[in-house]
Amino acid sequence: MTELRRFEACGVLITGAARGIGAATARRLAEEGAQVLVTDVDLGEAERTAASIRELGARAEAFVCDVGERASVEAAVAHAVDTFGSLDVLVNNAYGCTPDAPLFEDEPDEVWARDLDLTLTGAYRCSRAALPHLVASGRGAIVGIGSVNGLQDFGNHAYSAAKAGLVSLTRTLAGHAAPRGVRVNLVVPGTVRTTAWEGRDVDLELVSELYPLGRVGEPEDIAAAVAFLASPDAAWITGTTLCVDGGLLAVNTGFRQAVRRRDGA
């Protein structure tokens, strides 16, 4: 457990927090003193995550939240405020990602709409509902979870477009919220070892070769970045997009490897 206590008595709501990056973030913030509402459409898994946090001696509750439904989002925000006395941090982690059709022209409207609604509009719904409470807390922060897909081509048309939209929403909302004392930032992960890659260890091993730091990310890598941006340590940071991607976007590893092969290295 970390010895930092940057979130003592803070109320935190995290979407899509039953597993993966969301669960790791819930644990990290709880370890630093936060009271965490673990929200997800899967209440059973959310409760298991919350229970594991309570075993650490921290406070956590589970609550159903479908970011695709305004009423569900508003109920989750209200529950966090009623339960913890304030809402100080919102982490927009929930998303939708549907595999692409083989041909772009065969993509159904429903798939496009669903991925954008859950990933981009869901973050909008949550931020809209939470913002007045974050303002009232006097130390409010929103941290979104983006993706390298929103900055470069890695496939998944709708998901990537939605994640790119989060980059823009982060900037515009940061500008709006700054005079009201709320900071808004975005973490952009590369490949992270989550349940989305379950049973694909060989693929992860191959992908890791593309990362300058020699490995894919772990959920805890992303949780640490979220904790920083949500904390007072980032008190003068807003509207930023922080890549936590093992150097993937900064270094063209494939090109470097091709040059070394050409040179016989």
Both tokens of 172, joined, read: 């515009």
The verdict on residue 1 lying in a domain is no
The verdict on residue 102 lying in a domain is yes
Residue 208 CB neighbour total at 10 angstroms: 16
- Cα distance between residue 109 and residue 32, in whole Å: 43
10-residue mean pLDDT profile of the chain (265 residues): values are 87 98 98 98 98 97 98 98 98 96 95 97 98 98 98 96 98 98 98 90 91 96 98 98 97 81 68
Catalytic residue, candidates 95, 124, 159, 211: 159
| pLDDT score, position 1 | 60
Number of domain units in the chain:
1
Is 197 in contact with 189 (CB distance < 8 Å)? no
The verdict on residue 2 lying in a domain is no
Q: Among 203, 194, 250, 198, which residue's Cα sits nearest to residue 222?
A: 194
Q: Where are the beta strands (DSSP E) in 65-155?
A: 89-92, 141-145
Is 163 in contact with 149 (CB distance < 8 Å)? yes
| pLDDT score, position 20 | 97
- Cα distance between residue 175 and residue 149, in whole Å: 24
**Cα angle for residues 139, 144, 146 (degrees, 5° grid):** 160
Q: Is 65 left (phi over 0), alpha (psi -120 to 50) or beta?
A: beta
Range of the domain at 181: 11-262
Instruction: Establish whether 124 is a catalytic residue.
Output: no
The verdict on residue 24 lying in a domain is yes
The verdict on residue 71 lying in a domain is yes
| C-alpha dihedral, 241 to 244 to 246 to 252, nearest 10° | -20
| pLDDT score, position 86 | 98
The verdict on residue 3 lying in a domain is no
CATH number at residue 245: 3.40.50.720
| pLDDT score, position 3 | 79
The verdict on residue 6 lying in a domain is no
> How far is residue 127 from each of residues 3, 144, 248, measured CA to CA in Å?
29, 10, 29
| pLDDT score, position 118 | 98
- Cα distance between residue 42 and residue 46, in whole Å: 6
